[in-house]
Amino acid sequence: MVSLYSQVCRQCSQLITNRYSTSFSMGIKVFDEKFRSPIYAIYGFVRFADEIVDTFHEHPKAKLLERFREDTYRAVEERISLNPVLHSFQEVVREYHIEMELVDAFLDSMEMDLHFNRYEDNMYKQYIYGSAEVVGLMCLRVFCEGNDAMYQSLKAPACSLGSAFQKINFLRDMKSDFNERGRVYFPGVDFTNFTQEDKLAIEADIKKDFDDAYLGIIQLPKGVRFGVYLAYVYYTNLFQKIKLAPVKQVKEERIRVNDSRKLMLLFSSAVRNSLNLL
């Protein structure tokens, strides 16, 4: 039986997810119940690490991230932490045999944001893998529940989905990334001279990721397929809005899908799921 302490820790991770991301929260809520808590735990972990490098400007971010890394290792080794996010995360790492290589790759990417603000091709690929693709792989370990053959067959599509989500985030947040943090993630792109040709090339890359990812989504276990598909639908709709927007708008505002539209997408996706049309 899960202890009261562990329950409270997982509820903390759920609260973090709900407060930070309406899109992912909606997707998780339609998972079978057994999958919700571990995915909340993963999201809480990656969200707090990201907060360190993106938000805590008045604090020693490098020291905080290093401490977070050390505390993560300690939590997994000792099977407990007084940090509720790390406690719930270590339980999931141990229960679903999430490789520490994935955790390391994620934290390495967060550390890259402390030292770099331009990402050329090799660094860009490394950053995308560590910041997004490995998060999809952590979730996939949960979805597969120990079925390693299934995990291996779905690794590539899971990476593609994480990659697509992250690249859309980069497009959506171009202005704040550049103005607030001096960052430009896309290789060879100059924010001050971002062109239609640049935008079209990035969009073609994202479309390929989405096409590859969909082939994996439809093979996911039934208990999570609809939830992952729903996140895919939200992001493909955001992608369409960005594609239709002129370069000037992408550079000057954060394009988003409003809540009423998300509810409509939830309803239409639920109908497709009920009719086995995914």
CATH of the domain at 40: 1.10.600.10
User: Confidence class of residue 277 from pLDDT cuts 50, 70 and 90?
Assistant: low
Average pLDDT over residues 119-125: 86
Q: What is the pLDDT at residue 153?
A: 97
Exposure string over 119-136, b if 16+ CB within 10 A, otherwise e: beeeebeebbbbbbbbbb
Q: Spell out the alpha helix ranges (H) of 2-147.
A: 4-20, 22-29, 33-55, 61-78, 84-95, 100-115, 121-128, 134-144
**CB of 243 closer than 8 Å to CB of 192:** no
User: Confidence class of residue 120 from pLDDT cuts 50, 70 and 90?
Assistant: confident
Average pLDDT over residues 121-137: 93
Q: Specify the number of domains making up the chain.
A: 1
- Cα distance between residue 273 and residue 278, in whole Å: 6
pTM above 0.85, yes or no: yes
Q: Number of helices (H) and strands (E) in the chain: give both, helices first.
A: 14, 0
End-to-end Cα spacing for the chain: 36
Burial label for 221, CB within 10 Å (0-12, 13-18, 19+), is middle
Q: What is the pLDDT at residue 66?
A: 97
Asked if the model's pLDDT at residue 275 lies above 70, the reply is no
- Cα distance between residue 264 and residue 168, in whole Å: 21
**Residue range of the domain that includes 34:** 4-274
Q: Which residues pair with 118 in a beta bridge?
A: 184
Single out the residue of 223, 256, 190, 175 nearest to residue 32, CA to CA: 223
